[in-house]
Amino acid sequence: MKKNNSIKHINKAISYLRLSEDDDDKLESNSISNQRLINQNHAEGLSIEIVAEKVDDGYTGTNFDRPGFQEMLELLRQGVANCVIVKDLSRLGRDFTGVLNFVQRIFPEMGVRFISVMDPYDSESEISQNDYLSLPIKSLINESYPANTSISIRGTLNSMRKEGLFVAAFTYYGFKKDPENRHKIIIDPLAGEVVRDIFRLKLSGYSQDHIADYLEDKGILTPADYKVSQGINFKTPFKRYARSHWTAQAVGRILTNEIYIGVLIQGRTTTPNFKVKKIIEKSEDEMAIIHGKIPKLISPTDFMVVQHLMDKDMRTAPGSETVYLFAGILECASCRQNLVRKSVKQNGKEYIYYVCSTNKYDKNQCSPHRISERKLTKAIILLIQYHINMIVEMKTLLKYIENIPFADRQVQKDSMRLNMLKKDYQLNMKRSAKLYEDYQDGILTKEEFLTYKKRFRERCQELEKLIEEQKNESIDIFKKIRNQNEWINHLLQFQNIQELDRRTLVSLIKNIRVSQEGNIEVEFWFKDEYENLLQSIENINISLQDSVIETFLHTPEMEGGVLCG
């Protein structure tokens, strides 16, 4: 570094001012103004001319990567000034090691006088030169402030996250901060509708690339540009040009973000401490994951279906913006590989059918499992209609069951297990009562009496608990048939379908498997919920022996459980 040899005739200084956060002053922070005044007055008292002023307003003191500070160093290297004046050591910085390095090594090597007005410290003063303790202690105290502040802020933010309060600077695309509560987010009507459109397009068979093209053609602003258009000072590493463009990756981030089904995930990353800025990814257990604190933009069912589709390898149909109707959900029942679409032209007509992809590429592996697209489509429509009709009947039955008076259900007293538990309890109570008689008659010793008494008491307590659980279980049978509206209503959206489109297909059916004989096995969404509800209805019928429930349970689908065609 260049050393200034005229140190005994110092009269040119740089006034350095710094503040971590802006205050309400329209032009600059009030504290900056105060620092300026203090530095100027001190310089005048020492007959030092301030030739430059460098300001870092809104910059942390925990590092020296500040524009004003770096400009000051450059002026010192150029010899424009040979003195630095600050209000106090904390304005120079709050990094203990860094501050001492500048004051005790770098500035002296450059021949630069350093003055900290309020401490007071002046490198030209004999008192300051002979004081080896004050400067390190004050610097260490200054560093402890951001350390304690960092710990306090981290603790506060963690508590807020666990409460489901939104603490990030910017909301996710599709949401905005509530004007009345900045820690609460609400749906943004404009961006929220774009998010819904993205999910609708994906369910309709569009790839991420084609969704991005669609949004570009419509002139819809990207998330980053939309934030800027709303007056938000937002910067992102994903934006590389003046006007950013929709990409498949941007669409994919939206399609896989659980925020849109009301799951708020915060605290995904952290840093080792306030001085080290290295980003560390947290494990899922360490994140704050809160359900139900924010509104849902997308139904959980649509989100679930989209995630299922995202895992599939599907290609857009040639000359089309969407995939083929059965892409990604048609499987070979034998090898579980996808069936691929083939077309054959004969007598001026095009015939489309599906074959096992394994057999297509190696005739010695698997078998064709061939099925006509026309026959497949017709069969699927019939199966959907039949399944939906069963759901309609099930919903009607649930209303019927809920209207049966509880006293007539006879669940508690007709439960065989409950009666057995009660009998066991009564037997143990009789045995417990007889123990004292046997003890009095000398049949049992005192030690045997106390041992058996304890054993029977513990057994009775256990039976009391089991009896209560059984009663609750009997009541829960009826509770289980309630709150089924979400998945039932989802299926009933498609009650009167006559034609099959992509969105209807993927919203109702998870997989279709084709056997070697050309039979199809369909797995509808909510298979587990359907079967659990059916089991609850059967349990109720065991107690009630109701003719209406009995008729429902003996329909063809109820006896088979799997729809085939």
- Stretches where the chain sits below pLDDT 70 are 1-10, 21-30, 130-135, 137-155, 233-242, 270, 272-277, 313, 404-422, 425, 428, 432, 436, 463, 466-484, 543, 556-565
Contact 207, 219 (CB under 8 A): no
pLDDT of residue 13: 95
pLDDT of residue 472: 59
Torsion of CA 540, 543, 544, 548, to 10 degrees: 40
111-127 pLDDT, tens per residue?
999 999 888 889 888 87
Contact 384, 565 (CB under 8 A): no
Q: What's phi and psi for 232, nearest 5 deg?
A: -95, 130
pLDDT of residue 453: 74
Q: What's the rounded Cα separation, in Å, for the pair 432 and 31? A: 83
Please report where in the chains the tokens 């009562």 appear, as a residue: 433
Nearest 5°: CA angle at 256, between 254 and 260?
65
Q: What's phi and psi for 222, nearest 5 deg?
A: -70, 165
Contact 424, 463 (CB under 8 A): yes
Q: What's the rounded Cα separation, in Å, for the pair 23 and 31? A: 8
- Residue type for position 117: V
Closest CA to 16 of 79, 81, 62, 78: 81
Residue-wise DSSP of 431-453:
HHHHHHHHHHTTSS-HHHHHHHH
pLDDT of residue 279: 78
Three-state secondary-structure class, residue 57: strand
Three-state secondary-structure class, residue 265: strand
DSSP state of 283: P
Q: What's the rounded Cα separation, in Å, for the pair 329 and 19? A: 60
Tokens of 298: 């997308």
Q: What's the rounded Cα separation, in Å, for the pair 373 and 380? A: 10
392-412 pLDDT, tens per residue?
988 888 888 777 664 444 444
Q: What's the rounded Cα separation, in Å, for the pair 353 and 254? A: 35
Q: Any alpha helices (H) in 289-340, and if so which ranges?
A: 300-310
pLDDT of residue 236: 58
